[in-house]
Amino acid sequence: YQKEPQKANAQDLLDAITLVESLLAENNIF
């Protein structure tokens, strides 16, 4: 079983962006 590459990649990208924004917000950089 394999997820749709585009969907999986898009979700991974969104998760990464959310994580980065959270880290930046915690450090008062963003």
Q: Could you read off the pLDDT of 6-22 as tens digits, one per residue? A: 776 888 999 999 999 99
CA distance 24 to 13: 16
3-state per-residue secondary structure call for the chain: CCCCHHHHHHHHHHHHHHHHHHHHHHCCCC
Instruction: Report whether pLDDT(3) > 80.
Output: no
- Asked if pLDDT for residue 25 goes beyond 80, the answer is yes
Query: Does 17 or 28 have the greater pLDDT score?
Result: 17
| pLDDT the model gives residue 14 | 93
Residue 30 has pLDDT above 60, yes or no: no
Give buried/exposed letters for 1-30 (b at 16+ CB in 10 A, else e).
eeeeeeeeeeeeeeeeeeeeeeeeeeeeee
